[in-house]
A and B are shown apart, each in its own frame.
Chain A
Amino acid sequence: MPIVVNLDVVLAQRKMTLSEFSERVGITLANASILKTGKARAVRFSTLEKICDVLDCQPGDILVFEKD
């Protein structure tokens, strides 16, 4: 998929664990793992809003478009 999720990079920069991230965003650890591994098919605006709030970043920092 041309949309790449850079959540692992942003989490590393913030020194935040996945479980802490999932807890603060309010999603399950399984869903956080799906997002981190790039298996997610879609992200709700409400979830994206919470992620940006928790990580103090822009959507573009997490989601990057890469041509095949």
Chain B
Amino acid sequence: MATKNFKLTLAHWLVRIIGICVFVFAALYFFVGIHLAIAPHHYDWLHLSSEIFIYDCVKGELVRPGPPERSLWTLWFFLENLIFYLILGVIFIYFGKILHSVRNGMVFRNEMPGWLRRIGLCFLIIAPLVIFHIGPTEKGFQFGTHMHLGYLLAGLFAFVLAEIFKEGSRLNEESKLTV
């Protein structure tokens, strides 16, 4: 039991640290992204060009965004990542709460289904950001998809878990109120 608690404590702190790192990443994306869009010449040393290549469905290869749209595309790229990291941070906050609750022996508490539903919603929000890619190229806007369905599945799984925990909480409360 002690080992189990130690593992949960470790997992809880790990999730907390990762959550903080994710928010730091989000803040970095926010400030660097805006500055890079305004003054790209300051970031020649950063070699971010490979990051903003997008997939051209017609050519079947990665293409570089055209110069007129470059600033706009860079800003969009960073904003997209900012949203992604912020939502990921929220997921880590709720996951940390769940781990904290489980560690303290309160597995079927009333708040658990709500937390899981919020995690599921966050996953469903970021799933389109990962699956669909849109951006300007030299030939106009290009649209691409990736078969990264992990976030979508994780979101749906969290919703299923929320329903299971809702039933668990109900049974737990009923058991507590049985004299």
Among B3-11, B18-26, B171-179, the stretch that binds chain A is B171-179
A-B contact count (CB 8 A): 23
For the side of the interface on A, what is the size category? 10 to 19
For the side of the interface on B, what is the size category? under 10
Assembled-state Cα–Cα distance A13/B173 (Å): 31
The residue of chain A having its C-beta at the shortest distance from the C-beta of B178 within the complex is A42
- Per-residue contact bits, chain B 132-176, to A (CB 8 Å; 1 contact, 0 not): 000000000000000000000000000000000000000001100
- CB interface residues, A 12-68, toward B, < 8 Å: 27, 31-32, 34-35, 39-44, 47
Cβ–Cβ contact A43 & B178, under 8 A:
yes
Residues of the B chain whose Cβ atoms lie less than 8 Å from the Cβ of A31:
179
* A40-B178, A43-B178 given; 7 more Cβ-contact pairs under 8 Å: A34-B179, A35-B179, A39-B177, A42-B177, A42-B179, A44-B179, A47-B179
